[in-house]
Structure 1
């Protein structure tokens, strides 16, 4: 029966947006060197909730100035900037963490060590912010024939049916999810193929040879909405190979990409990062204890019998064993459960019960998710009844708060 109850998490999942505050502004750099200089692409991605919007003529308008100063030996060598105007059709979009403004700047730099200093100035305000400097090294004396892979979202076609390869544009990470992400691998034009090996924690994920490039003169461009890799007009002496259908196998953490062609070989360490990871998973002991709330005391005890370093791995194994993912590293049930926990902690806490996930409403929410309908009844004695209806499951839960302080207690169910 307990297994059936847990299964509700998967079968009747309704997404709930817990209020997360992960990394908000993303910047990544990519170098295309030649014998004298390197063309450095600096792409950025800013969520709408970091932009100040003003309502005008029925829609919302915001914008910003994004600039990069390149410092060498303490001196500014060059500066580039771009102005972006962003529109939103409704207020909800202006506070969205999932809608982004993308942009791109290009720098031409000679051999040397640089600090790239980004700065954002918001339109409609006088606010400006200098972000963390990005150290880069340019070495045109020993030009690499195989460049670091670029993370792109799965290829898509626009209305003209032209294939576009969009940069994920999140600091070079592959987002941890079930979505399909790929790698673009720029190589010198004289190389005819490339052998790709991807490993993670000694496990081989990919071992393949790519013989056909997707484009013979690739460059990074801003198409107005996204940053894409295109068959460019700039002659950069690099062509691009493309690899996909592998990212779903990758777990959180680092992985190694080995690229080889003829006598040329490069090893790159990259990372899978859970961008919208539920907050409750950042405190691993707390996350394990939440299993007790749904009747999994034995599983929680087994995890706590291990060393602390093994807690997280064991917790992931618990979810994978109970809800197999059919080859995917990302577990939807685990994500949904802890996303619900975040919501319950915030919304069902009461006086004397700071952890809303352990309240009666929190426990029901963890197991069944969002009710199809919530009804409230009020009496003259400050008694409040809250009735949760799950129509698909044919279940009803009745909670009562006799104090008027939010301490709802389960008093009936059917």
Structure 2
């Protein structure tokens, strides 16, 4: 018998065999090794565009990070988390014109002092040209490159059609105060410190909304007596808060800032609008920005008398018809065919509010509380998938991964495979407690980064046991 030297034996796996080996390993083990059991950065982001006096514009990008979602390294007696933020600036047709990297370090005294939902803020200023139309922010945990998140945003076009008059974007802030030696440099604007609120959420401990903006190139007559109207409107356009006052500006002071008490607003989405008029009351310029009230109360003397269904209806009714239609798009996968047909027939705002109120009320997990826990949890999941799974113009909840996450929550296990061989990038999600254990297989079948569901063992989902054919390149 011919003997073989072990050095002459070769062993190799095709990419398809490699995939099945990983899949088998994934299905056999019961340890949560992938994806959602690793820390996921929780971060809010916002931006404002200001005109640079000399040339171009200044883009300010604001971030707030949940410190409990970062990875820390002990150095001496301190614990330090390091983040890398990559900012890409684009002009029309997605042509990249800037690519910048920034580093952030966050230091705490002891790892045991970390608290969930405790945020710290940071900000960056970038000089950009007038042709910039959008930016992309990629945020990475330096200690764990898999812990990352991405934001994309359009930039407002600089409007100089009314002569050279210019009004910046509105910056929504937690607080505006006089500059001091302890002020954070990136938050300082001349003699004041503007502490941004990237989430634009208010309520509970944040009952005052601060705003900041800049106005340039008004003539001397306009500067001497400018009329300012500040409105808070709901999404139906109804004015909830209205303030009017006159202000004298000068060439050396182009800042406008103020504060509005929002503690009397119920939960929902609102619009802050600021309008500038001349001394004759003629419209000059205006800006708008959205913000949210997220506290679980209605600040009214009769609030304790509201039933849970009245409270629910009050929260839903503040939305515009477009907002109501979007909420139905989110829940339509959980509705019957008859419910879909019935909603399609509805026209008025009141009819759609009543439909959504009835839908959520029927699945209220705890009618003894004033809050509808199922709706709150669903909207939290929507916020998560919109940040993580949005692709192009498609919002996260419109994708297959987003839909499954909203329906079933965080997977118990997730396997990600970006192997660049015979198969396309894919993800396999596993839930242990559903129907005795189910999997969902998603694949980037067309290279667009929109992972489609190609197979599931869930009884109500797509079942295609020849799914591997769709995964081949």
Q: Using structure 1 for the length normalisation, give the TM-score.
A: 0.51
Structure 1 residues 302-328: Cα deviation after superposition (integer angstroms, max 9, x where no partner)? x65x797457679xxxxxxxxxxxxxx
Selected match of 1:79 from 90, 99, 105: 99
Q: Does the CA-based 8 Å contact 1:198-1:257 persist in structure 2? A: yes
| Alpha-carbon offset, residue 198 of structure 1 | 0.9
What's 2:111 paired with?
91
Instruction: Tell me the SS of whatever aligns to 1:248.
Output: coil
Could you say if the C-alpha distance between residues 214 and 181 of structure 1 is closer, same or farther in structure 2, counting changes exceeding 3 Å?
A: farther
Q: Does the CA-based 8 Å contact 1:66-1:119 persist in structure 2? A: yes
CA RMSD in angstroms, aligned pairs only: 4.1
Structure 1 residue ranges without an equivalent (≥5) = 1-20, 218-238, 282-290, 315-336, 346-414
Instruction: Tell me the SS of whatever aligns to 1:126.
Output: strand
Selected match of 1:270 from 264, 279, 290: 290
What's 1:154 paired with?
175
What's 1:176 paired with?
203
Question: Which structure's relative contact order is higher, taking Cα pairs within 8 Å and 6+ residues apart?
Answer: 1
Structure 2 residue ranges without an equivalent (≥5) = 1-38, 184-190, 298-302, 319-368, 378-473
What's 1:45 paired with?
64
- The question of 1:24 aligning with 2:42 is answered yes
Selected match of 1:60 from 79, 95, 114: 79
Instruction: Tell me the SS of whatever aligns to 2:270.
Output: strand
Residues in 2 aligned to 1:215 and 1:61: alpha-carbon distance in whole angstroms: 44
Query: What is the 5 A alignment of 1:61-210?
Result: 61-72=80-91, 73-111=93-131, 113-114=133-134, 116-127=135-146, 129-139=148-158, 142=161, 145-157=166-178, 164-171=192-199, 173-177=200-204, 179-190=207-218, 191-192=222-223, 193-201=226-234, 202-210=238-246
Across the two proteins, how many residue pairs are aligned to each other? 256
Residues in 2 aligned to 1:140 and 1:199: alpha-carbon distance in whole angstroms: 23
| Alpha-carbon offset, residue 108 of structure 1 | 0.9
Instruction: Tell me the SS of whatever aligns to 1:49.
Output: helix
Query: What is the 5 A alignment of 1:297-316?
Result: 300=307, 304=309, 309-310=313-314
Higher strand share: 1
Higher helix share: 2
| Alpha-carbon offset, residue 338 of structure 1 | 7.4
Q: Using structure 2 for the length normalisation, give the TM-score.
A: 0.46
Instruction: Tell me the SS of whatever aligns to 2:196.
Output: coil
Residues in 2 aligned to 1:50 and 1:270: alpha-carbon distance in whole angstroms: 27
Which segment drifts farther, 191-200 or 207-216?
207-216
Residues in 1 aligned to 2:167 and 2:61: alpha-carbon distance in whole angstroms: 19
Instruction: Tell me the SS of whatever aligns to 1:258.
Output: strand
Q: Does the CA-based 8 Å contact 1:146-1:266 persist in structure 2? A: yes
Residues in 1 aligned to 2:115 and 2:316: alpha-carbon distance in whole angstroms: 32
| Alpha-carbon offset, residue 41 of structure 1 | 1.6
| Alpha-carbon offset, residue 23 of structure 1 | 9.8
